Amino acid sequence: MRPSILRRLLRRVASTAALALVAATLSTVGAAPPAAAAGGLQQVTGFGTNPGNLQMYEYAPAGLPANAPLVIALHGCTQTANDYYTNSGWPKYADLWGFAVVFPQTTSANNPLSCFGWFDPAEDSRGKGEAASIVQMVEHAKRSHGSDARRVYVTGLSAGGGMTADLLAAYPDVFAGGSVASGLPAQCATSQAAASGCQTGPQKLTPAQWGDKVRGSYPGYSGPWPRVAIWQGTSDYTVYPANATALRDQWTDVWGIGRTPSSTDTLPGNTTRSIYNDTSGKPAVETYSVSGMGHGLAVSPGSGTDQCGTTAAYFLNAICSTYYTGVFWGLDQGTPGGGQLPAPSGLQVTAVTANSVSLSWNAVPDAASYAVHRNGTKVASPTATTYTDTGLTAGTAYRYTVAAIDGSGTPGTTSPQVTATTTGSTPGQCFTATNYAHVTAGRAHTTGGYVYANGSNENMGLYNVFVTHTLKESPAGYFLIADSGCAT
């Protein structure tokens, strides 16, 4: 027996008991490796020396053009490539937007519960083990499909999310972006014994220390860093939400940007998106906090463009995370610089009433229409450069963006966001909501991570969706905490 194989077997035997602790909480009961589905998921062999002993599966739409993007999608513990292919929604967008998807698979031959080795330096480091096998799959797919080397992305759930973060750190020259769903910061654990501690509360490191774990994964690298999306349920008690905070700290530090969001908005499924722009104003890191969701990948079954996936164990009905991840990476917009319409300039609020907001913007040459989004959701497609949004709630803040749409229906770059607050709130009226909702509605503001009532400046606690207060408005625009009662 070769020494490398013997070492692998010894590591597997020694860690079996600890793996049961980690992996049993990370995913669901497994299934046998998938057989190739005719016209769907196909197994690929001979993709390289495969030092990590992985299996390669892929889905490529018929007629895929050269220079299309490539996505790598990593399953959770005890799951298979077929589970992720069937439930995540990635094949839908591969067909819609035109790109190939590789679904790496690890098995019980590597790990008793088929977890990717995000906690093992022999598996998740540059040039080693499973990480090296996944990069060999990337190279094989690029050769087979003529994929654009500038647009290779990686995403993963749970243990797959932990490996995603490690791959982004070890191979920033390979991956242009990543998406970590219910996962762990890069190099959170470097031993089996430390893995469980990461799940329930990662090491208490400074942002710079988290960033150093990325920089140390490929010493001397000076190129561009991947753009990173972070998905987390607030009720995840398997991989605790503290991991999303650590991931945010890690990647904003790597990018050299602050931890105060450039903008925050509300998406379907009780999802809060916070965007952290780079120095050019382009999103570099985005966090998606899904209120009330447990451990899993957020999906939203349906036929709409922004709906995807199938609900199953650890595929949870909330929002199509795959859609928003793909838009963040730019998969919906074609080749960068390849004719995409620019963002409309001059977006402004021209009028507000108690139930409406009027907008205007400058025309974009060759635009057939425009997509108006309110709080991240498309609400209209006018052909003119003005729009009045009606049926709104009095005294509420709304955020708007606009994108030009060409004759083929392809949206261009989205404009900067503007905020409008409707008029008409009644003095003496009471509002009960989370701190986040009070800020969004314009009844409170944030300073240093805390929320303060507008007018009175009373401290309402942390800026999040967990703390709820009742505010009384009296006089107009002046709010007081009225948790003990709100007599008018």
The predicted structure's pLDDT at residue 113: 87
The predicted structure's pLDDT at residue 425: 62
Q: Which CATH architecture describes the domain 348-421?
A: Sandwich (2.60)
The predicted structure's pLDDT at residue 23: 43
| CA dist., res. 169 & res. 251, Å (int) | 10
Q: Is 158 a catalytic residue?
A: yes
- Region label for 12, one of left (φ > 0), alpha (ψ between -120 and 50) or beta (otherwise): alpha
Taking the chain (488 residues) in runs of 10, the rounded mean pLDDT of each run is 42 38 38 44 97 97 91 95 97 94 94 93 97 98 94 97 98 98 96 89 93 97 96 96 97 96 92 93 95 97 93 96 95 53 88 91 91 83 95 82 83 78 74 84 81 89 83 82 78
Ordered by start, the domain boundaries in the chain are 3-333, 348-421, 430-481
- What is the residue whose two structure tokens read 């480091």? 125
Q: Provide the CB-side half-sphere exposure for 141 (13 A, CA).
A: 34
Dihedral angle of Cα 400, 283, 161, 239, to the nearest 10 degrees? -60
Is the CB of residue 241 less than 8 Å from the CB of residue 232?
A: yes
The predicted structure's pLDDT at residue 105: 97
Structure tokens at 363: 């025309």
pTM listed for this prediction: 0.67
Please determine whether the domains at 3-333 and 348-421 fall in the same fold group of CATH: no
CB count, 10 Å around CB of 29?
9
The predicted structure's pLDDT at residue 393: 81
Q: How far is CA 358 from the centre of its chain?
A: 31
| CA dist., res. 53 & res. 56, Å (int) | 10
Dihedral angle of Cα 261, 265, 268, 272, to the nearest 10 degrees? 30
Is the CB of residue 87 less than 8 Å from the CB of residue 312?
A: yes
- Catalytic: which of 88, 125, 133, 158? 158
> Residue 337 class from Cβ within 10 Å (0-12 exposed, 13-18 middle, 19+ buried)?
exposed
CB count, 10 Å around CB of 64?
16
Q: Which CATH architecture describes the domain 3-333?
A: 3-Layer(aba) Sandwich (3.40)
The predicted structure's pLDDT at residue 319: 96
Beta strands (DSSP E) in 356-427 are 356-360, 369-374, 377-380, 386-390, 397-405, 411-414, 418-421
Instruction: For strands 70-74 and 100-105, give the pairing.
Output: parallel
Is the CB of residue 146 less than 8 Å from the CB of residue 67?
A: yes
